[in-house]
Amino acid sequence: MRKYLAVLIPLILCAVSAVSQNAPALRHDRSVDKWADKTLRKMSLEEKVGQMFVVWARVQFLNINNPEYAHLRDEIQKYHVGGFGLTVPVEGPTLAKSLPLEAAVMTNELQRDSKLPLFIAADFERGLSMRLNGATAFPHAMAFGATGNKDYAYQSGKITAEESRAIGVQWNWFPDADVNSNPANPIINTRSFGEDPAMVSQMVTAYIAGAHAGGMLTTAKHFPGHGDTDTDTHLAMARVNGDMQRLESLELPPFKAAIAAGVDAIMVAHVTVPALEPDPDKVATISHNIVTGLLKDKMGFKGLVVTDALEMNGLMRLFQPGTRAEMSARAAVAAVLAGDDMLLIPGDLDGAYNGVLNAVRSGQIQESRINDSVRKILVAKASVGLNKHRFVDINAVNKIVASPESLALAQQIADDAVTLVRDNHQVFPLEPSAAGTSQSGLAYHAEGPGGNSVLAVIFSDDVRGDSGRVLERQLRSRIHDARVIYVDEGTAGPRTPEIMDLVAKAHAVIAAVYVAPSAGRTAKGGNSAGSIAMDEGQAALLHQILQAANSRTAVVALGNPYVASSVPEVQNYICTFSNAPVSEISAVKALFGEIPMRGHLPVTIPGIAPRGFSLLDKPAQPASGS
């Protein structure tokens, strides 16, 4: 009983004394500096080095005595980590998403176990819904670019900040300041607002302002620009070509805009930039020329400089041979010497932590250099009030997260992003049947006979995943006997004869292509540097569908807009720039003429259409029968 009370009482006190982190104003006044200086003076070298590290915390229900939670507690108490990056476990092709309340409970627990307040950060590029169910789900950044409405970026930043603070997250690793100028970019793509540096700058600036209004720290990434690469740095080292003039005109302007807007942190990419760093074995993360010479000295950035995940192959391969601990140590030391303040997701925390600690003890790294970074970290923590209130009010979560107004705004953004690129006036608007049904399809179910009116073929990375589920429900709610078939790399080839037979009979065909940037994604027939293309089997199937029924087929790109370049013969082409559920809903609404397709291409699709193009404002048709 005493042990139970020892655990319960601190939790009750935390809940009672917690001050809601709902949109507190960011501040940097004398009290912030005073706390940072006082705290720094009391810290041991071991504590100071630990503050520079951020490691993963996977949100799930965990008993506080569970070995997984004990591991997190050990990282706090043994390594004095400065914070955690909030994510979730991966199960097969999908993320095992948790709920906002579970996240809030976990962040409170982690804060309770730490002597110093922790940064809780997250990659909430599309809001909390990237990791948690039940939160407001925004589309990808490129969808915002398609709307051309920077107020949408502001509002999404504010809503994401308010929802994040409600669950105990104070720092978002967003916005993406990359200019996606390379259609073959396998990892940025729809994560970028577009290919125009001026528009990207406006969106980045608006997002930062909104996030700050909601009380959240922001991060511009991936410095000095990851948009003109054809390699996924999770898999291999990427290279940014171009001389200094090109960098100044294309890659750097959004980062300059972010700095002017008061961005709190800048994340440095694992990319080589010959124009800035002549050493081919020094990616930007470990380049003193880029981190200190360019970003800090020339561009005048005074905030936190953070690394991209240190565990990524684009960096780790540079420190071979050696054990994972040895490579992690060398990578961490190199990052600190380059000028990075915080080291995210090391491949081996023990190796990286002790590597930096020993480098200071040996004199390779000056302790004053560590002090400079740790003071900035402490100032940033105090700027969001962590020096005074580190816990969140669990009872406030369901009053803030996923409000009806926030959900409606997210859907409106997705609606306004839909862009009509090609239209032969023979497919849309589709006609709904007299009565629909909300039945859903599973990857393994017998799909049933269906009707001959509409066939939807869902192209995705894995038929067991979530891609297409919302689109199918939306389609069946309008046409009850629509036939829906899911194909991936393994099933596209074997199912081609069956699908082509159905294509011949269908009055209209929807080819929904779900290809979105994903860390480490490779397509069959692609290369080890990553891919944003359809795999060979799926591409061959799509070509066959268009060859047999181009005039009555609508290709809908739910993600990568450049898909059309591989099927230049396509007659009907719609882009949503996102595979988020709101974008699936928008796609179906557009197909049935329920919304105008008023978006504009934020990127050029080679061989198809230039940036800014759209068959603008195709009139919405009355949705009879629905």
DSSP code per residue over 100-131 = HHHHHHHHHHHHHT-SSPPEEEE--BTBGGGT
> In 3-state terms, the chain is what percent helix, strand and coil (to 5)?
45, 15, 45
Query: For residue 53, what is the DSSP state?
Result: E
Q: What angle do CA 193, 196, 201 make, to 5 degrees?
A: 65
Residue with tokens 């302790």: 367
Q: Which residue from 128, 116, 379, 115 is spatially nearest to 265, judged by alpha carbons?
A: 379
Q: Among residues 438, 25, 71, 380, which one has the least CA distance to residue 219?
A: 380
Question: SS3 letters for 316-359?
Answer: HHHHCCCCHHHHHHHHHHHHHHHCCCEEECCCCHHHHHHHHHHH
Q: Which pLDDT does position 20 carry in this prediction?
A: 37
Position 14 scores a pLDDT of: 42
The answer to whether the CB of 591 falls within 8 A of the CB of 428 is yes
Q: Annotated catalytic sites, by residue? A: 234, 308
Q: Are 269 and 284 contacting, i.e. CB atoms less than 8 angstroms apart?
A: yes
Whether residue 303 contacts residue 261, with contact meaning beta carbons closer than 8 Å, is answered with no
Measured in Å, how far apart are the chain's first and last C-alpha atoms?
59
Query: CA–CA separation, 26 vs 384, rounded Å?
Result: 5
Residues of the chain with pLDDT under 50: 1-23, 232, 436-448, 520-521, 524-531, 622-626
Say what the pLDDT of residue 534 is: 82
| Integer Cα distance of 323 and 215 in angstroms | 41
Q: What is the pLDDT of residue 625?
A: 36
Task: Tell the burial category of 477 from Cβ atoms under 10 Å away from its Cβ (0-12, 13-18, 19+).
Answer: middle
Q: What single-letter DSSP state applies at residue 265?
A: E
Res 91: pLDDT: 80
Judged by DSSP in three states, 132 sits in strand
E-state strands within 37-98:
53-58, 83-87, 90-91, 94-95
Q: Which two tokens stand for residue 346?
A: 């090391």
Residue 570 · residue 555 · CB < 8 Å:
yes
| DSSP per-residue string spanning 382-429 | HHTTTTT-----GGGHHHHTT-HHHHHHHHHHHHHH-EEEE--SSSPS
Polymer length in residues for the chain: 626
DSSP 542-611: HHHHHHHHGGGEEEEESS-GGGGGG-TT-SSEEE-S--SHHHHHHHHHHHTTSS-B----SS-BTTTB-T
Closest CA to 203 of 606, 602, 604, 616: 602
Can you tell me the distance from the alpha carbon of 353 to that of 362, in angstroms, rounded to the nearest whole number?
14
Can you give the pLDDT at residue 368? 98
Say how many CA atoms lie within 13 Å of 51 toward its Cβ: 26
Q: Which residue has the tokens 């608007």?
A: 429
pTM attached to this predicted model: 0.91
CA 176 to chain centre: 9
Comparing C-alpha atoms, which of 561, 527, 535, 555 is closest to residue 188?
Answer: 561
Measure the CA–CA gap between 340 and 577, rounded to whole angstroms. Answer: 33
How distant, in Å, are the alpha carbons of 463, 474, 483 from that of 480? 22, 10, 9
Cα dihedral 258, 260, 261, 266 in deg (nearest 10): 40
pLDDT tens-digit readout, 131-188: 999 999 999 999 999 999 999 999 999 999 999 999 999 999 999 999 999 998 888 9
Report helix, strand or coil for 478.
coil
Q: Given this model, what pLDDT does residue 446 score?
A: 40
Ramachandran region, residue 612 (left: φ > 0; alpha: ψ -120 to 50; beta: rest)? left
Q: Are 187 and 235 in contact (CB under 8 A)?
A: no
What is the number of H-type helices and E-type strands within the chain?
21, 18
Which of 568, 466, 593, 457 lies closest to 512 in space, CA to CA?
A: 457
- The confidence score (pLDDT) of residue 530 equals 42
- Inter-CA distances, 461 with 92, 93, 480, 513, 537, Å: 12, 8, 26, 10, 12
Sketch out the chain's domains with CATH numbers: 26-397 (3.20.20.300), 418-591 (3.40.50.1700)
